[in-house]
Chain A
Amino acid sequence: AQSVAQPEDQVNVAEGNPLTVKCTYSVSGNPYLFWYVQYPNRGLQFLLKYITGDNLVKGSYGFEAEFNKSQTSFHLKKPSALVSDSALYFCAVRHYGNNRLAFGKGNQVVVIP
């Protein structure tokens, strides 16, 4: 069965500094990987995805993520964090042919002004 691990509960970063949110996955076969963001009292919003091709994928709001097959990781990154990036971030994986998406437990990101 597919699964996702997000090892940190909370990530604190100063505004303007680089932001990294870690994610590792476990799935048989080729994974489809996703990042979602959740703002308070809202549903999850899609940020970016990796399906195939270039290991560095770019998404919304200046976020990008790097797929590393050997380390089974898909870390989310942003070169310069904004206070408005403070939110809950979820990594998710879907196995090819399976219409179920497995979510990690989420990481709270706090950007300090």
Chain B
Amino acid sequence: NAGVTQTPKFQVLKTGQSMTLQCAQDMNHNSMYWYRQDPGMGLRLIYYSASEGTTDKGEVPNGYNVSRLNKREFSLRLESAAPSQTSVYFCASSDHPGTGLENSPLHFGNGTRLTVT
């Protein structure tokens, strides 16, 4: 039972390089999310996708783009990495809020540790 799978687990980039973080879930969830975790700041929402074909900005979207490729997959792209984007990135999924399941908890992947030098 895989749940939410993130790749890669670790990545080191140089300033200006680009990369895509991959996320896939096998729980048939409608909603997917990308968070970043920084010490002392908790988790901050970057982008989310309430359903296949839709994406919306979260708290800290600048410098990122996302693609909801299909119901299972939600990728996060850094077009030109900056040291400020050094963080741990988490993908999560949940049932669609509009189904009356607003109380559904998030299911998280194990994270991608990104260092930008």
Contact = CB atoms under 8 A, between A and B. Distances in A.
Interface of A: 9, 32, 34, 36, 41-46, 49, 51, 90, 94, 96-101, 103-106
A104 B42 contact: yes
Q: Which secondary structure characterizes the binding site on chain A?
A: loop
A43 B44 CA distance: 14
Contacts of B43: 44, 90, 103
Given A36-B106, A43-B110, A99-B102, 9 more contacts: A9-B40, A32-B103, A44-B106, A46-B106, A90-B43, A99-B48, A99-B98, A103-B44, A106-B42
Interface residues of B, number: 27
Contacts of B58: 100
Interface in B82-110: 90, 92, 96-98, 102-103, 105-110
19 contacts: A41-B111, A43-B109, A44-B106, A44-B108, A46-B107, A49-B103, A49-B105, A94-B102, A96-B102, A97-B97, A97-B102, A99-B50, A99-B96, A100-B58, A101-B33, A103-B35, A103-B43, A103-B44, A105-B42
Interface of B: 4, 31, 33, 35, 40-45, 48, 50, 58, 90, 92, 96-98, 102-103, 105-111
A88 B103 CA distance: 22
A43 B42 CA distance: 13
B4 A43 contact: yes
Contacts of B107: 46
Contact of B110 (A41, A90, A94): A41
Contacts of B96: 99
A46 B44 CA distance: 17
Contacts of B98: 99
B45 A100 contact: yes
Contacts of B33: 101
B103 A51 contact: yes
Nearest to B49: A99
Those 5 A-B pairs whose CB atoms lie nearest each other, nearest first = A43-B108, A46-B105, A99-B97, A105-B42, A103-B43
